[in-house]
Amino acid sequence: MDRYDVAVIGAGVVGCAVARRFALRGARVLVLEKGADILSGASKANSAILHTGFDAPEGSLELECIQRGHAEYLALRAEMNLPLLETGAIVVAWSEEEEARLGALERQARANGVDDVRILPAAEIRRLEPQLSTRARAGLHVPREHVIDPWSPFLAYATQVVAQGGRMVFDAEVTAGAFDGEGWTLDTAQGRFQAAAVVNCAGLFGDVVDQRLLGRASFEIRPRKGQFAVFDKAASALLTAIILPVPTERSKGVVLCRTIFGNVLVGPTAEEQADRTRATVTEPELRALVARAAEIVPALAGMPVTAAYAGLRPATEEKHYRIHQDTARRWITVGGIRSTGMTAALGIAQHVEALFASGPAATAAPAAPRMPNLADHLPRDWQRPGYDEIVCHCEMVTKREIEAALAGPMPPGDFGGLKRRTRCAMGRCQGFNCLGRLTEITAGRLPHPLPGHPL
Ligand SMILES: O=P(O)(O)OC[C@H](O)CO
Predicted local confidence at residue 154, as pLDDT: 95
In the reported structure, the alpha carbon of residue 62 is separated from the centroid of ligand 1 by a whole-number distance in angstroms of 14
Fold of 85-148+222-313: D-Amino Acid Oxidase; Chain A, domain 2 (3.30.9)
Q: What pTM was estimated for this model as a whole?
A: 0.94
In the reported structure, the alpha carbon of residue 339 is separated from the centroid of ligand 1 by a whole-number distance in angstroms of 5
Q: pLDDT category, 34, cuts 50, 70, 90?
A: very high
Quick check: do 3-46+151-220+317-356 and 85-148+222-313 share a fold? Answer: no
In three-state form (DSSP H/G/I as H, E/B as E, the rest C), the secondary structure along the chain is CCEEEEEEECCCHHHHHHHHHHHHCCCCEEEECCCCCCCCCHHHCCCCEECCCCCCCCCCHHHHHHHHHHHHHHHHHHHHCCCEECCCEEEEECCHHHHHHHHHHHHHHHHCCCCCCEEEEHHHHHHHCCCCCCCCCEEEEECCCEEECCCHHHHHHHHHHHHCCCEEECCCCEEEEEECCCCEEEEECCEEEEEEEEEECCHHHHHHHHHHHHCCCCCCCCCEEEEEEEECHHHHHHCCCEEEECCCCCCCCCEEEECCCCCEEEECCCEECCCCCCCCCCHHHHHHHHHHHHHHCHHHCCCCEEEEEEEEECCCCCCCCEEEEECCCCEEEEECCCCCHHHHHHHHHHHHHHHHHCCCCCCCCCCCCCCCCCCCCCCCHHHCCCCCCEEECCCCEEHHHHHHHHHCCCCCCEHHHHHHHHCCCCCCCCCCCCHHHHHHHHCCCCCECCCCCCC
| Residues flanking ligand 1, CB < 6 Å | 47, 49, 251-252, 255, 268, 270, 313, 338-339
Residues 330-368: tens digit of each pLDDT: 999 999 999 999 999 999 999 999 998 755 554 544 444
- 268 CA closest ligand 1 atom index: 8
Mean pLDDT of 74-103: 94
Residue nearest to atom 3 of ligand 1 (CA): 251
Q: pLDDT category, 304, cuts 50, 70, 90?
A: very high
Fold of 3-46+151-220+317-356: FAD/NAD(P)-binding domain (3.50.50)
Looking at per-residue confidence, does 428 or 418 come out higher?
A: 418
Residue nearest to atom 4 of ligand 1 (CA): 339
Domain boundaries, the chain: 3-46+151-220+317-356, 85-148+222-313, 381-442
In the reported structure, the alpha carbon of residue 225 is separated from the centroid of ligand 1 by a whole-number distance in angstroms of 11
In the reported structure, the alpha carbon of residue 253 is separated from the centroid of ligand 1 by a whole-number distance in angstroms of 6
In the reported structure, the alpha carbon of residue 269 is separated from the centroid of ligand 1 by a whole-number distance in angstroms of 9
Judged against a pLDDT cut of 90, whether residue 428 lies above it is answered with: no
- 339 CA closest ligand 1 atom index: 4
Q: State which of 147, 251, 309 you would mutate to test the pocket of ligand 1, scoring each by most atoms of that ligand within 8 A of its C-beta.
A: 251
Residues 193-226: tens digit of each pLDDT: 999 999 999 999 999 999 999 999 999 999 999 9
Mean pLDDT of 145-165: 93
In the reported structure, the alpha carbon of residue 227 is separated from the centroid of ligand 1 by a whole-number distance in angstroms of 11
In the reported structure, the alpha carbon of residue 340 is separated from the centroid of ligand 1 by a whole-number distance in angstroms of 7
- 47 CA closest ligand 1 atom index: 8
This complex has an ipTM of 0.93
- 315 CA closest ligand 1 atom index: 4
